[in-house]
A and B are shown apart, each in its own frame.
Chain A
């Protein structure tokens, strides 16, 4: 049965996460993400799951890693300053390859910044917030429906590639209420992590089977004793100073994402086929761009938009493939120019403009229209 309801973006994240199999949430409330913790506290007990409000963000991140290690799909949610606190343990999850989903409903910073205002200034923190070479996946929704659908995808990718996945939201979408349609009969793909089958590898938590990109999982703390560490480790999970083993490990951590870009990266393109100007945007900014593009098209302007749905890894292949008609690219984002750096890295032969905001207000469609009309 189809059912259309009014829902907030933050609430839709929780519903989607539960659909994906989330049964544990640990967090520390922070605006503008708080409704995710509140709704998890209400909903998880109803489906046999658990919610814990931890002492802080560091503890929350540790708790979700622990819960996932024993086989429970887990999520935490936060905003800028809390996301900073989670970074050390996000690195631990990268290194130990424990699937977790971290929601960051961004606010402006630095530090505690503007708690209740929109921002997209954690784009680079999502990529490089934790130290060391590592790969990461980040996904950014633009509507309440996408909060639901894409958080399911975030869990699926976390399980498939045994990696933390950042669900990079903004206040525009997190606090937005709009209609969302649920269809009981729609089939939803839910991916579970691959479990070890071969008895001879059960005690080798980081042994990778031929043809696999990641080690298969054996639940922690049940029968076989094995070691998990943030130190460089070989197949047996124990720390090592062996340079060859350490080099192979970090290389594999990078390659498991790099080699599967086509499976991981999603973009949305509209009106790009004949466009002279393309606006690059993501998350809540897409809503401003969408209205601006409609207005400009009505005036006969050849303009379209390109939206990375997957922010990290950055969709460089898709961006490079924009048609030759595109002479100008304008990046629109609620920060001082973060995805702009990526666009400048990828695009060398076209003019690149920028519409950014760091004052806590939303980029309006008219500001984008103006930027497009000013292109020489």
Chain B
């Protein structure tokens, strides 16, 4: 694996920052180098939120994503804002979003991430974990085992089962692509 530059964008409260932290944690568990960062406004919820993680076998200098190799968008606003100049980038968007026909990307995946969390897993707040599993499977980052370890380090005690369910649901979603 060369260098992966991953950008996750959504709305504050959707857990996109945590999702990148989990991907970074999984990278560390798998013995890779990683740099995770985020940018957000002063709002606690609702503002646009962008979080990034770089995963590499090499030492990481610049810690921010300049040319993403992967973009996840969970809201229309974030898709519209970040899905530009993405010719060499894999774009994953929630299937509820309106993906412009003119969008040019390396690959475009529309997955029902929010819907899966809400109905199949049963809790809307697990959408970020569904997404993490789908991204991991789509990009072949780490084993599901390492990913689960990473998830369990960052969730409240007692929520292991629901999060495991979300992980498997996300993994299954990725198989549809």
Contacts and interface: CB of A to CB of B under 8 A. Distances in A.
A179 B28 contact: yes
A12 to B, nearest CB: 14
A175 B37 contact: yes
B61 to A, nearest CB: 4
Q: Is the interface of B mostly helix, strand, loop or mixed?
A: mixed
Contacts, number: 60
Given A365-B62, A365-B66, A6 B24 contact: yes
Given A6-B24, A6-B28, A178 B63 contact: yes
A287 interface: yes
Interface string A291-311: 110100000000000000000
A82 to B, nearest CB: 15
Given A5-B28, A116-B41, A116-B42, A177 B36 contact: yes
A287 B54 CA distance: 13
A83 to B, nearest CB: 18
A220 interface: no
Q: Which of the four size classes fits the interface of chain A? A: 20 to 34
B62 A291 contact: yes
A362 B64 contact: yes
Nearest to A360: B39
A31 interface: yes
A178 B33 contact: yes
Contact of A287 (B24, B33, B36, B61): B61
B34 A366 contact: no
B28 A176 contact: no
A116 B39 contact: yes
Contact of B61 (A115, A117, A291, A362): A291
> Which 10 pairs across A and B sit closest by C-beta, in order of nearness?
A291-B61, A290-B61, A291-B62, A177-B36, A6-B28, A6-B25, A178-B35, A365-B62, A179-B28, A287-B62
Given A176-B36, A364-B66, 18 more contacts: A6-B21, A6-B25, A6-B34, A6-B36, A115-B42, A116-B39, A116-B42, A172-B37, A175-B37, A176-B63, A177-B21, A177-B34, A178-B60, A178-B63, A287-B61, A288-B61, A365-B61, A366-B66
Interface of A: 4-6, 31, 115-117, 172, 175-179, 284, 287-288, 290-292, 294, 362, 364-366
Interface of B: 21, 24-25, 28, 33-42, 60-64, 66
20 contacts: A4-B28, A6-B24, A6-B25, A31-B42, A116-B39, A116-B40, A172-B37, A172-B63, A178-B35, A178-B36, A179-B28, A179-B33, A287-B62, A288-B62, A290-B61, A291-B61, A291-B62, A364-B66, A365-B66, A366-B66
